[in-house]
Amino acid sequence: MIKMVDIIMYVAPFGVFALIAATVSEFGFDILQTLIWYAATVIIGLLFHQFFVLGTLVKVFSGISPLKFFRGIREVMLIAFSSSSSAATLPVNMECCEKNLGIPKHITSFVLPLGATINMDGTAMYQAVATVFIAQVYGIELHISQQLIILLMALLASVGTAPVPGVGIIMLIIVLRSVNVPEEGIALILGVDRFLDMCRTVVNVSGDSAVAAIIAKSEGVLKIGNNK
């Protein structure tokens, strides 16, 4: 299997090039500029969720200041960014949550492994943006009911996404199918997916740490939650 994956990874860049070449020949070179806008939209959404939504949730429900929280999980974010894998980041996440945020082991050892597997807020957001983007490229209009289906399906697909690199884009097929957007559109975004995978994994693992802090507080076992 390892040899087979090695071979596939070796030819993958050529395959992606061929897919992008086919897309550019169909839609023209402008599509590449559009792709930059797509990536920027995903990144802005992730930044907003990471620092505003998670920061506020942590402050309101656990009493930890957002600055202290993000400082405490700095290493976790770095490893998630470089490995693109929530599973690979799990041990570091457990250690940082226990040592830096004062969350007891019995909370981290339940919440974080569960969160790493099913809680992928970054991936869900990315899948929703990607679906809307691909629909727009193909000129498909999405009504409000379809947009709600995208929300629901992105949530479910992200729960089913394995915590390893690149699975989010495979699960995207489910979301695209649910609103009849052509799956070939994935070829369009494949080229920029690695970087977006790195970014969304940071949000995925930070969401897990935030929930662990909130649960610890609600159980009354957060040790240093009120230190600013």
Where does this chain bind ligand ASP (CB under 6 A)? 84-86, 120, 123, 161, 163-168, 197, 200-201, 204
Q: Are 84 and 197 in contact (CB under 8 A)?
A: yes
Q: Are 41 and 50 in contact (CB under 8 A)?
A: no
Token look-up 């030819």 returns 11
Phi, psi (deg, nearest 5) at residue 129 = -65, -45
CA 216 to chain centre: 24
The smaller minimum CB distance to ligand ASP, of residues 84 and 93, is found at 84
Q: Looking at this protein, which amino acid is placed at residue 7? A: I
Write down the least CB distance from residue 123 to ligand ASP, Å: 4
Token pair of 163, please?
């915590």
The smaller minimum CB distance to ligand ASP, of residues 154 and 222, is found at 154
Phi, psi (deg, nearest 5) at residue 181 = -95, 135
Write down the least CB distance from residue 28 to ligand ASP, Å: 29
The smaller minimum CB distance to ligand ASP, of residues 204 and 209, is found at 204
Residue with the closest Cβ to ligand ASP?
168
The smaller minimum CB distance to ligand ASP, of residues 58 and 120, is found at 120
Write down the least CB distance from residue 72 to ligand ASP, Å: 20
The smaller minimum CB distance to ligand ASP, of residues 167 and 222, is found at 167
Q: How many residues does the chain have?
A: 228
Token look-up 């020949």 returns 25
Write down the least CB distance from residue 225 to ligand ASP, Å: 26
* DSSP 8-class letter at 221: -
Please state, in angstroms and rounded to a whole number, the distance separating the CA atoms of residues 22 and 121.
32
Write down the least CB distance from residue 165 to ligand ASP, Å: 5
| Phi-psi category of residue 139: left, alpha or beta, with phi > 0 → left and psi -120 to 50 → alpha | left
The smaller minimum CB distance to ligand ASP, of residues 203 and 222, is found at 203
Query: Could you give the C-alpha distances from 164 to 48, 85, 94, 201, 207, in angstroms and in order?
Result: 23, 4, 17, 9, 16
Write down the least CB distance from residue 141 to ligand ASP, Å: 27
